[in-house]
């Protein structure tokens, strides 16, 4: 792919920081450095950080490691963490990444912003499923409002529609979108996962129109049926057109804000360049905590912990589905999510979920997220997203009874 030709105008002038590019050199053993403006490690407030994991394993960040965790570090990744990410990615996805193909992020959310910054001019468009993650709309809207919606069903993005939309744009001589964005597993908010057939079809279409793909996959390992996830778009791609965002939020700890982008070295190079101007690098202390976890747990142990935690999500999902089946009227439709944390309820046409949540939600004591926030077209007013991640099992039944009451009140208003 000709990445340079796709870059937004604002990126053409990005230059490497003259100081940042010296960081790896500064760490050469024996170097007498007058470079950089780093504070002296002797001045840092920390002597050590003792870490105890729920697995019972513990480790201490101390001596040279504590200085490194408190100090400025390289933009792409902390040297201690990077080899772990390479191995984690190879094990998990069967994709071996070169060291220049990884950029550690302050959450995958940062990757959404960076991708938009790098590629989207005001007049550019992006193609994505309707509904889509509200945080993506938030990140992209700073750069463009031109979103091309593709419908989504139980198998994820309807790629036959994607194909039709692009064919129509191409034959009308319209400017094609800069990239296709998708959430292939446990879609937020729709709860669905992209089928293998559609993953292949999506790649074939991207190849035909020479488009980049942004694969945003924070729910990949939240497989509620205890199945192996399907191959990632990146793993199925042979043309280097997938930029992938991995997140440790749902499998480790979201407050640490850790994720990584991987993909064509050229794109990742621009991620780095932009991050130099944005925040220099992701917290070295947070990266040290993840590196320490990965050093003290095998991948099999990590995957087992994730699987055990999913048991909680599965119980919650099943409880919500059972209560929904029992209490909701037949004209409310919803999917059974096989991955992720969300159930997406479709209410009868004409219902206004925002009004329902705002007028009845507080009074009845029930909160769900109105669908409109996930729409790029001002639609989805009759949808709500219910998350089952934090619910209390004893309250599920009562929650669905209140939801049913809220639905009947709205039905009464519509008449």
- Binding residues for ligand PLP, rule: CB under 6 A, are 107-109, 133, 135, 183, 188, 216, 218, 247, 249, 254, 259
Give residue for tokens 């470079």: 35
User: What is the b/e burial string over 144-168, where b = at least 16 CB atoms within 10 angstroms of the residue's CB?
Assistant: bebbbbbebeeebbbbeebbebbee
183 versus 343: smaller Cβ distance to ligand PLP: 183
Please provide the DSSP assignment of 161-202 as one string.
HHHHHHHHHHHTTPPPPSEEEE--SS-TTT-----HHHHHHH
Q: What is the smallest separation between the CB atom of 192 and ligand PLP, expressed in angstroms?
A: 12
Alpha-carbon distances, residue 155 vs 3, 151, 185, 265 (angstroms) = 30, 11, 10, 31
d(CA 179, CA 182): 10
d(CA 385, CA 367): 10
d(CA 166, CA 347): 30
Q: What is the smallest separation between the CB atom of 246 and ligand PLP, expressed in angstroms?
A: 8
191 versus 259: smaller Cβ distance to ligand PLP: 259
Q: What is the smallest separation between the CB atom of 185 and ligand PLP, expressed in angstroms?
A: 10
Q: What is the smallest separation between the CB atom of 183 and ligand PLP, expressed in angstroms?
A: 5
399, two tokens: 């929650």
101 versus 134: smaller Cβ distance to ligand PLP: 134
Reduce the secondary structure of 1-20 to three states and give it as a string: CCHHHHCCHHHCCCCCCCCH
Q: What is the smallest separation between the CB atom of 107 and ligand PLP, expressed in angstroms?
A: 3
218 versus 371: smaller Cβ distance to ligand PLP: 218
Contact 114, 64 (CB under 8 A): no
101 versus 247: smaller Cβ distance to ligand PLP: 247
Q: Provide CB contacts within 8 A for 318, sequence distance 6+.
A: none
- Residue, CB closest to ligand PLP: 107
Tally Cβ neighbours within 10 Å of residue 6.
18
Q: Provide CB contacts within 8 A for 45, sequence distance 6+.
A: 70
101 versus 185: smaller Cβ distance to ligand PLP: 185
102 versus 108: smaller Cβ distance to ligand PLP: 108
Q: What is the smallest separation between the CB atom of 247 and ligand PLP, expressed in angstroms?
A: 3
Q: What is the smallest separation between the CB atom of 32 and ligand PLP, expressed in angstroms?
A: 39
66 versus 136: smaller Cβ distance to ligand PLP: 136
218 versus 399: smaller Cβ distance to ligand PLP: 218
Q: Comparing C-alpha atoms, which of 127, 121, 57 is closest to residue 295?
A: 57
190 versus 285: smaller Cβ distance to ligand PLP: 190
Q: Comparing C-alpha atoms, which of 295, 251, 303 is closest to residue 60?
A: 295
Contact 103, 351 (CB under 8 A): no
Contact 398, 382 (CB under 8 A): no
What is the Cα 284 distance to its own chain's centre?
21
Q: What is the smallest separation between the CB atom of 334 and ligand PLP, expressed in angstroms?
A: 18
d(CA 374, CA 352): 14
Q: What is the smallest separation between the CB atom of 108 and ligand PLP, expressed in angstroms?
A: 4
Q: What is the smallest separation between the CB atom of 369 and ligand PLP, expressed in angstroms?
A: 12
């Amino acid at each position: 792919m000709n990445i340079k030709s796709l870059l937004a105008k604002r990126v053409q002038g990005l230059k490497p920081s003259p100081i940042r590019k010296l960081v790896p050199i500064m760490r050469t053993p024996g170097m007498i450095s007058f470079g950089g403006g780093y504070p002296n490690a002797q001045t840092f407030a920390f002597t050590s950080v003792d870490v105890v994991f729920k697995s019972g394993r513990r480790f201490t960040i101390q001596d040279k490691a504590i200085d490194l965790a408190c100090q400025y570090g390289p933009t792409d990744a902390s040297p201690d963490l990077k080899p772990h990410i390479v191995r984690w990615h190879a094990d998990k996805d069967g994709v071996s990444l070169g060291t220049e193909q990884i950029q550690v992020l302050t959450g995958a959310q940062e990757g959404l912003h960076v991708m938009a910054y790098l590629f989207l001019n005001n007049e550019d468009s992006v193609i994505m499923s309707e509904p889509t993650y509200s945080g993506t709309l938030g990140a992209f809207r700073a750069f463009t409002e031109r979103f091309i919606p593709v419908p989504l069903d139980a198998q994820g993005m309807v790629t036959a529609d994607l194909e039709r939309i692009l064919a129509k744009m191409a034959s009308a001589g319209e400017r094609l979108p800069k990239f296709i964005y998708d959430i292939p597993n446990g879609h937020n908010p729709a709860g669905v996962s992209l089928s293998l057939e559609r993953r292949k079809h999506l790649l074939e279409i991207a190849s035909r129109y020479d488009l980049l793909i942004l694969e945003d996959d924070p729910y990949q390992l939240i497989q509620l049926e205890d199945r192996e996830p399907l191959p990632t778009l990146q793993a199925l791609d042979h043309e280097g057109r997938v930029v992938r965002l991995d997140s440790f939020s749902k499998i480790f700890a979201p407050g640490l804000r850790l994720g990584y982008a991987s993909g064509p070295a050229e794109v990742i190079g621009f991620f780095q360049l932009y991050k130099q101007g944005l925040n220099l690098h992701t917290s070295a202390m947070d990266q040290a905590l993840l590196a320490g976890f990965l050093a003290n747990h095998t991948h099999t142990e990590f995957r087992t912990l994730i699987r055990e935690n999913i048991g909680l999500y599965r119980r919650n999902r099943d409880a919500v589905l059972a209560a929904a089946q029992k209490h909701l009227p037949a004209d409310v439709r919803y999917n059974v999510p096989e991955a992720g944390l969300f159930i997406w309820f479709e209410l009868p046409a004409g219902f206004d979920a925002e009004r329902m949540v705002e007028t009845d939600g507080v009074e009845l004591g029930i909160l769900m997220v109105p669908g409109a926030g996930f729409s790029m077209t001002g639609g989805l007013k009759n949808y709500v997203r219910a998350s089952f991640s934090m619910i209390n099992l004893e309250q599920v039944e009562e929650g669905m009874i209140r939801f049913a009451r809220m639905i009947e009140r709205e039905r009464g208003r519509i008449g």
